[in-house]
Structure 1
Amino acid sequence: MLHELIFVLSGFPSDVFIPFPSDNPCTFSINPEFPLLHPAERESLNRLGHLGWIYAKLNMFSVKQGAYAQAMATALEATLEEYRRDILEMEQLVLDKTYDAGAGVVPISLLASSLGRWELLLPALLEFTCKFDACDYYGCKLLDLVLDEARTGNKDYRDVMHKVADRLHDVLYRQITSWMVYGNWTNDEFFITKSSSNSTMDSPAGWQRRYGLALEQIPKHIPLALAESVLFVGKAVATVNQMGNNPMPDTMKRDHLQLLLSLRQGQSRQYDPLRHVVQQIRRSTADWLFSCVLTGEHSLQCYLESFRHMFLLGYGDLASNFITACTEWRRRSLAKYPQDQHYKTTMIFRHQEFNALLAKASVGTEAEDQMDGYGVEIMQNNDDTSGSLFSRLLLVDLSCTLRYDMRWPIDLFLSKEDLQCYSDLWTFMTGLRNVQMSLSDLWISLRHGPSSHEARAICRLRSYMLFWVDTLWNHIQSNVINPHYQRLIQTMTGAKRHSTSKLPDFEDLQAAHTQYLRNIMQGCLILTKDTAQIMYKALRMCQKFCAFVQELCHQEDWQRTKRRKTERTASDIVNEWAQPYESSENAHLEQIIKTEKEFTFMTDRFFTLVSDAPQEIKANGSLDILLLQLDYNKWFSDNRIKSL
């Protein structure tokens, strides 16, 4: 009987302990036909038989393929090995008569007590394996399941889960080491994913898209910022290895390797050591990239200067040529493609035609040889960015923006969010410049116009609009973009460091550039929703006014009144302009007056919003200067006092 008991505790059935029930067994139980057993003895033996059943299930636990699943199985196997040693020890004690209570009798209660810890531990482990088979956890995400299971009051089970977690962390650290030191991507069990697109793999400019984060695979105890740092270092190393012209020094690799190997010597479950090591490696890698890769024609200053000229309209002649070309293209496009025509082929042709305008506009300008990587595109209606509000100010009927195809090595420094900020600024600046040019070009149509109340109202409103737009444009270029750009360049070159000659590190430069973009966007007032909307409405009103005047200038009645039959003296002109006009003189005069009132209301509202802006925005945007320039004759402030 004792032999049968030892046998079943090892996971093997016999004639005495059989699988029960026979159709769908869930335990090892004493054969119902076995005689001479007291019900209490039968119950105790069945408990021990069930323990053997659980062990057999754990021993047959077949894991899925994968490094993490194998590591988990190895840790569980070590626990089962402890169980087997306890069975062998119990068998030895039985054979040595240590458990003999007399007359060769071994109490079942004594055997059960020697295996007491396993009666709680093995069922918990079996339940854990069932959760593993039933859940969707895969790869390094298994750490979440194991660490959640470790939060228990069962000390033995908690210790086993910690051992499993240590095994899984060992696999994770091996993957992180291979990725951050050598740039080797292992498999899809890692929280770093690899693109399967051949075009992306073959393009040096596609390294940002070649690798990415599998957000669903990142363990909960690893913050997203830490995972992004791991991704950054590995991508940089992998791309440097692919380029081959400037490999990372072996000494740096050895230092990084030693830092990562030190994690395996401590508590794997602690987050702080991992964070400290990853940050140290990222800083070291970033500094090396800044000093050895982002140099010469690929220096940060060259890229930033190019972005300053292209996205922020530093190339004034290019911007003017492009806006003029867009105006003409829009006129031809509307005649060629009706607005309700949205066939796929039609849209492709329109995209191609529009993108070619930028290259044509650059001919004969300073930007002619600086267009590599830049392209304009028509945005789809579902595009939703912070700059989409102003994206229709250029083409009116379509949204458009300027894109830059990030290439090695500037994509080490810039993020997609940075490029989106540049694109948003371009849509705003281009729209503002387009309105400014449209108002200026009205003079060509108005200079030989009639001398009437209607013409005077148009000229007055145009002058008012142009003053507001000119002031805003000049302020942004002179008091916002230029000072912040010069400050950024000084930071890049280390010209202004606090009592030290050491150059700023890579991450400080990234932070300075991010702040630079934020300061400019605050200075342009496009981050404040109310101010951005009132600016957009005012600019759209200017566009509608220009379209109205252009249409009016082509009417026959307006053309007829241009011909003057008699010469007028200066006194006649002054008297005529000094006379009050009546709304009945012209059918369009009432509409012009209404537009003037609406525009006055919008600019007053704009002045109020800027005056009440937070101090940070006022400082970054030099808004006090803008307010002084707008209110040089106390027009806005007097109106504001009257309204109060």
Structure 2
Amino acid sequence: MIHELLLALSGYPGSIFTWNKRSGLQVSQDFPFLHPSETSVLNRLCRLGTDYIRFTEFIEQYTGHVQQQDHHPSQQGQGGLHGIYLRAFCTGLDSVLQPYRQALLDLEQEFLADPHLSISHVNYSLDQFQLLFPSVMVVVEQIKSQKIHGCQILETVYKHSCGGLPPVRSALEKILAVCHGVMYKQLSAWMLHGLLLDQHEEFFIKQGPSSGNVSAQPEEDEEDLGIGGLTGKQLRELQDLVRAQQGAWRIPARSQKRRPPNDLVVLPCPSKFITAWAASINSLDVKHLALS
């Protein structure tokens, strides 16, 4: 029965340990020779198998890189969840499950070497996952039920990683590191190359509505507006000078051979200069400026 138990904990139920979609993995009622205490221990272990199967269901549904079992077919696209942050979460979750798989392999080797080991040995060896799996399952269920999308997954995982259980915190921080890798790549592509790689609208930087008119801006700058021979660019420059009500004007920083935090340097300017420029706009004549 030990081998059947290890198979069930690996996601392969059988006649002794049966799978039910609602109640999960449990000991079959067709074996009355089992003592109630043994049944209790086995059902406690079956809760680990239930969580593991549902983890693999979740990973298979949204990434497709975990082998699918017959008892939990994939339901791709039915949940409405998608995105690269969700795939990163599944990748991190799969890496968190790897120590559990290795523990099952180690148990199999131990039972092959010593067939007299009991079920209590299995319970003791897997006890470290009794706290981990339910806590991670809470995060998975929250993502599924609330349809958490994009960068919100980072916030959800981080909040649950702030608990006081070291195994849970370590596992969720590992998942969070994988999810952060996606954000860092998007951020570096945007800051270093000006590329907004956000196919599923998950990034906190969005495409602006006026971005499609950028290509037409140079033509508008050079077009004559019919106001005293002003172009659009010249009119904006004049308007900037008029707005300088505090007696300051702005010039390009490169011409001053400085390296400020921005591209503009603020220098003092006489009030008469601003008054003359304001008068030129009101008269719509930029050819004669009385600076005296």
Instruction: Output the amino acid matched with 1:122.
Output: F
Instruction: Output the amino acid matched with 1:182.
Output: H
**CA 1:121–1:506: 2 relative to 1, 3 Å:** closer
Q: For the Cα contact (< 8 Å) 1:51–1:119, is it kept in 2? A: yes
Deviation at 1:374, TM superposition (A): 8.1
2:74 equivalent in structure 1 = none
Deviation at 1:202, TM superposition (A): 4.0
**CA 1:107–1:199: 2 relative to 1, 3 Å:** closer
Q: For the Cα contact (< 8 Å) 2:10–2:101, is it kept in 1? A: yes
Q: Higher helix fraction: Structure 1 or Structure 2?
A: 1
2:206 counterpart of 1:193: yes
Deviation at 1:186, TM superposition (A): 1.0
Deviation at 1:3, TM superposition (A): 1.4
1:90 equivalent in structure 2 = 107
- Distance between the aligned counterparts of 2:253 and 2:234, measured in 1? 26
Structure 1 residues 447-473: Cα deviation after superposition (integer angstroms, max 9, x where no partner): xxxxxxxxxxxxxxxxxxxxxxxxxxx
Q: For the Cα contact (< 8 Å) 2:254–2:263, is it kept in 1? A: no
- Distance between the aligned counterparts of 2:262 and 2:164, measured in 1? 44
2:18 counterpart of 1:7: no
1:141-160 matches, cutoff 5 A: 141-160=152-171
1:132 equivalent in structure 2 = 143
**What is the SS of the residue equivalent to 2:123?**
helix
Deviation at 1:195, TM superposition (A): 4.4
2:229 equivalent in structure 1 = 369
Q: TM-score, normalised by structure 2?
A: 0.71
- Distance between the aligned counterparts of 2:247 and 2:54, measured in 1? 68
1:548 equivalent in structure 2 = none
Deviation at 1:87, TM superposition (A): 0.3
Instruction: Output the amino acid matched with 1:370.
Output: L
- Distance between the aligned counterparts of 1:493 and 1:373, measured in 2? 19
Q: Which runs of 5+ in 1 are unaligned?
A: 207-296, 299-358, 363-367, 376-403, 405-409, 411-418, 427-479, 495-501, 521-644
**CA 1:490–1:44: 2 relative to 1, 3 Å:** closer
1:123 equivalent in structure 2 = 134
Deviation at 1:38, TM superposition (A): 1.3
Structure 1 residues 407-455: Cα deviation after superposition (integer angstroms, max 9, x where no partner): xxx9xxxxxxxx8xx69x77xxxxxxxxxxxxxxxxxxxxxxxxxxxxx
Q: For the Cα contact (< 8 Å) 2:51–2:133, is it kept in 1? A: yes
Q: TM-score, normalised by structure 1?
A: 0.34
1:80 equivalent in structure 2 = 97
2:281 equivalent in structure 1 = none
1:56 equivalent in structure 2 = 53
Identity over aligned pairs, percent: 27
2:119 equivalent in structure 1 = 108
Q: For the Cα contact (< 8 Å) 2:88–2:178, is it kept in 1? A: yes
Superposition RMSD on alpha carbons, in Å? 3.4
- Aligned residue pairs total 243
2:29 equivalent in structure 1 = 32
1:475-494 matches, cutoff 5 A: 481=245, 484-485=247-248, 494=256
Deviation at 1:19, TM superposition (A): 2.6
Structure 1 residues 462-502: Cα deviation after superposition (integer angstroms, max 9, x where no partner): xxxxxxxxxxxxxxxxxx95x8236x5698864xxxxxxx6
Instruction: Output the amino acid matched with 2:205.
Output: I
Q: Please say which structure displays the higher CA radius of gyration.
A: 1
Runs in 1 of length 4+ with deviation above 3 angstroms? Answer: 195-199, 488-494
**What is the SS of the residue equivalent to 1:369?**
coil
Deviation at 1:9, TM superposition (A): 0.8
1:503 equivalent in structure 2 = 258
**What is the SS of the residue equivalent to 1:55?**
helix
1:68 equivalent in structure 2 = 85
Deviation at 1:369, TM superposition (A): 2.4
- Distance between the aligned counterparts of 1:157 and 1:46, measured in 2? 22
- Distance between the aligned counterparts of 1:35 and 1:3, measured in 2? 19
**What is the SS of the residue equivalent to 2:232?**
coil
1:41 equivalent in structure 2 = 38
**What is the SS of the residue equivalent to 1:507?**
coil
Q: Which runs of 5+ in 2 are unaligned?
A: 63-80, 272-292
